[in-house]
Amino acid sequence: KAQPGEWLNCKRFLGNEAVPVALASLLAEVKRRTEQSINTPKLAVFLDDWLNTVALDPAMAEAFFLEAATRILTAGIVPYFLLQSDSKTDWGTKHGAQLKNNFVHLLLSAPRDNGRLNYNQLRGVVIYPGEKIQHQVSLPGGLPTFGDGEPDLELAVPGMSPADEA
C-alpha cells in the first residue's frame, strides 16, 4: 500500500524499480536461510499487484513463484499473493496455474454501496491446499494499533554475503 500507516509495522517496497530489487532480496534471503539452516521467526511477505510484478520482470517473478511453491516456507518466509481473481492470467507465470493449489486461498467478498466496498459486510472463506471446500472464517476488523509504521528491516543484497556488507 502506498500510504504510510496503511500497513503498520511493515517495510514497504514501492515503485517499479523497487519490485525486482525486493524480489531478488527475498530470493537471496531464502538461499541464505536455507544454506545456513537458520531458524528465525516467520517473515510475512505480501505481494500486492502481483500481475504488475510479473509484467515488470517475468523471469524474476517466475523464479520467485517457484521458490514460493517450494523452499520459501522452509526458510521461514510466508508469501501472501494478493490477486483480483484466481485465473491463470492473474497468476501470470507459466507454473502459476499448476502450482496455485499449493497455497491456502483466502477469498474475500464485500458488497458495494454506491461503488465503494462496504467493509462492515466483508466476508471470507478459506480453501486449503488440494481442496475445493470453502470454510467460513472470522475476519479481524479495523487496523492494528501497534508499531510506528515501518520497522528497521533489511534483507540481504543479492550476490553479497552479510560479511561483504559490513
Lowest mean pLDDT among 43-47, 108-112, 140-144: 140-144
Backbone angles phi, psi at 107, to 5 degrees: -105, 125
The kind and range of the H/E element at 47 are strand 43-47
Record the cell numbers describing residue 145, joined without a space.
Answer: 494499533
Record the cell numbers describing residue 9, joined without a space.
Answer: 509495522
Of 50-54, 95-99, 146-150, give the range with the top mean pLDDT: 50-54
List, in order, residues 6 or more apart from 28 with CB less than 8 Å away: 155, 156, 157, 158, 159
- What's the rounded mean pLDDT across residues 4-20? 74
The kind and range of the H/E element at 126 are strand 123-127
The kind and range of the H/E element at 79 are strand 77-81
The more confidently predicted of residues 38 and 102 is 38
The contacts found for 105-111 with CB under 8 angstroms, 24 or more apart, are 106/137, 107/134, 108/139
Q: How do residues 23-80 score in pLDDT, each as one tens digit?
A: 888 888 889 998 998 877 888 888 877 777 788 888 888 888 888 878 888 888 888 8
pTM comes to 0.64
* Mean pLDDT, the chain, integer: 75
The kind and range of the H/E element at 43 are strand 43-47
Record the cell numbers describing residue 150, joined without a space.
Answer: 515501518
Record the cell numbers describing residue 127, joined without a space.
Answer: 480453501
